[in-house]
Structure 1
């Protein structure tokens, strides 16, 4: 499966977990992780969907971005925009307002995210085999021995 096919699958299968106003351009950069982490992210989506359905919050929380940063899986989840009366009595569109106290749903999503990203710390982002965080010339990656050796070889060939 290609990256584009994976994103299309996620976009269709878990449509309620993403902002329906996302453009095709947004979707190009919304999920930028390697195939080794795709099963972990799919598991996250499955669990998130279950929590939201159980608490009648479907469409109230959206995945905003999924990426690798410093060799770690990062999943950003935010409340959906909502309307609230402003000072003059008109409705104002509000986005990304955190409630003062975490809600039960927010806590559960945080636990799921923590579990999935914790598992990713031991999985090669490229192939899904056991891996670990590696650093090469200040760049971080979670990868297996084989992909680490390939990474070192690519770096060395660029220097020569």
Structure 2
């Protein structure tokens, strides 16, 4: 057992932060070989676990995507830089959006994806493009947004927005535990926070 590595030690070796490793373990698809204790501070890794977690981190950092779509994706840099800040289950949606950018770019229009994030369980994409194609790119961004609300951001399976008491995420049945205890007043009722917010505003007296 002397070869076992603590959670902070594994984080250093993997070049990741502890919070990210804990999240991966909480998801449940990639876990250390030794049984996972109730207290995450007591998690340990066997030597063979490191490579499996390295592969998972690469997937979550979209490393292969960045190489494949380097012609239409320019990573944000500098102070306050943002990245692709959502789960790997949305990779196909991301690729479909960037395939569209590639079509416009091949036709001579300027367009680049800069960064993206998850907010209220949906994919938000940020990009630069020529004015003449702005409407078309916005339409494809809307399609990606809609698909993300039906796709588990962890695994890519069919999903819906899950409302916990302090967080909401679009997850399948297998990963719904990530939002904690479900809020019965909102879970299964609000399936698109943006649409719900618009309805609430429209219902307000003028």
* Alpha-carbon distance in 2 for matches of 1:3, 1:31: 13
| Residue pair 1:70, 1:141 contacting (<8 A) in 2 also | yes
Pair 1:38-2:97 in alignment: no
Q: CA deviation at 1:4?
A: 2.8
Return 142-151 or 29-38, whichever deviates more. 142-151
In the alignment, which residue of structure 2 is the partner of 1:109? 137
Q: Which runs of 5+ in 2 are unaligned?
A: 1-54, 182-206
Change (3 A) 1:145 1:76: same
| Residue pair 1:3, 1:35 contacting (<8 A) in 2 also | no
Please give the TM-score of this superposition, normalised by the length of structure 2: 0.53
In the alignment, which residue of structure 2 is the partner of 1:63? 113
Q: CA deviation at 1:69?
A: 0.7
Q: What is the aligned residue count?
A: 125
Which structure ranks higher in relative contact order (CA pairs < 8 Å, sequence separation ≥ 6)? Answer: 1
Pair 1:11-2:39 in alignment: no
Q: CA deviation at 1:67?
A: 1.1
In the alignment, which residue of structure 2 is the partner of 1:78? 128
Secondary structure of 1:73's counterpart equals strand
Q: CA deviation at 1:22?
A: 4.0
* Alpha-carbon distance in 1 for matches of 2:85, 2:105: 24
* Alpha-carbon distance in 1 for matches of 2:76, 2:84: 16
* Alpha-carbon distance in 2 for matches of 1:51, 1:79: 9
In the alignment, which residue of structure 1 is the partner of 2:155? 127
In the alignment, which residue of structure 2 is the partner of 1:138? 166
In the alignment, which residue of structure 2 is the partner of 1:2? 56
| 1:49-92 Cα deviation digits (max 9, x unpaired) | 112212x02xx322121110111111111238xxxxxxxxxxxx
Instruction: Considering fraction of residues, name the structure with more strand.
Output: 1
Please give the TM-score of this superposition, normalised by the length of structure 1: 0.67
